[in-house]
Amino acid sequence: LGRNLLRPYVILLDPVLGPIRFDRGVFVPGKPTSNYGESLPTNTYTCVDRLAQVNRPIGNAFTSNPSGGQTTGEAILAVFALAGIPASHVRLDGTAMNNSAPSYTWPLLVDPNATNMVPVDAAADDNNATTYLRVINALLKQQNYRGVWCDENGIFRCDPYIDAATRTPDYDLDFDDELAALVAPQRSTTRDVSQVPNQYVFVQSNVTDGSGNPVMPTVGAGIWIWANQNDGDTSIQARGGGTFDGTLCSGIGVLTQVIELDAADHGTLVALGGQTVNANASTAKTFTLSTAPFPVVWHEDVYSYSDQAMGGGKLLSTGWTEDYGNSRTPFGDVQHTLKQVA
């Protein structure tokens, strides 16, 4: 996890524009394998995203904004600097980065089941230690930002969460367009309707009075309840119904999940809870598609997809696999996993 970085790229030949280069990210190389028996010895590297450079244990307890006065953006840049990442490698978007940063203390070791400190996109932490990534994502999440990610140029991106259903599609795919013929015939959809919660209770973990003393949250002031009454086949009504008592639904058709969150205020708690609802409560289809070479796909792209047989709509990319092939077939198909959001 040193400073050596690898930037793969592909070049596609356009009949009009000529060769076009597409950068495919910046990665940290590791685990080199030397291959012999060919005309020229080669090396194979297993590489990881630059997030690995901050998904390392800090090695001590850590307090954000220890002296007060820092903005959230300043506090985040301080964590990156501690991890050895210069500010020029970080892009902070949105006005919330100017909000005051909280003064939180993370212990050396963190309970792996502590929902209020677990970052959105974090991998498993070594020995459950507090990592730079955990702190960065917790500070972002407190302002209703999505987890930090790295773009195709290797820049760490910190930007506000925007519901995918409201975003303008980045790309349009039409399976039935015979002229484009971009999507391969073998494609599938999957739905999981068995364990999807239809009621969430979100609790703000850091509710205080005007003097900074902790107080018990209540509905509307530190507690937000979301329920799916009748939308789709995992709704409370579709599963057999339930009884609404003014605050909670209960009954045979109710599957409730309680989540504790750090939030700047109740409005931010509602926004953070909305992220979870959008990510987990939907019973929409998951699409698995293959396309021809598509070197512009990246992080959580939104697609507009048309398909008379499978249906379509607005889809959010949740993963993709790109085959670079070999010298004879240098660039193969791209496998997409997409979730329907609208």
pLDDT, tens digit, 9 for 90 and up, residues 252-279: 888 888 998 888 889 989 988 988 887 7
The structure tokens 């060919």 sit at 38
Look up residue 34 and give its two tokens: 């030397």
**Predicted confidence (pLDDT) per residue in 172-194, tens digit:** 988 988 777 688 888 998 877 76
Q: Which residue has the tokens 């993709």?
A: 320
Which is more confident, 50 or 263?
A: 50
Burial class (CB in 10 A: 0-12, 13-18, 19+), 2: exposed
- Euclidean distance between CA atoms 234 and 309, whole angstroms: 23
Is the model's pLDDT at 28 over the cut of 50? Answer: yes
Rounded Cα distance between 181 and 244, Å, is: 50
Residue 127 DSSP SS3:
helix
Check residue 110 and give its pLDDT. 61
The pLDDT > 70 percentage for the chain reads 87
Taking only the tens place, the pLDDT of each residue in 14-26 is: 889 999 998 889 9
Short-list 213, 212, 215, 243, CA closest to 227 = 243
Q: What is the pLDDT of residue 337?
A: 92
Question: How confident is the model over 211-237, as a mean pLDDT?
Answer: 84
Task: Give the model's pLDDT for residue 121.
Answer: 34
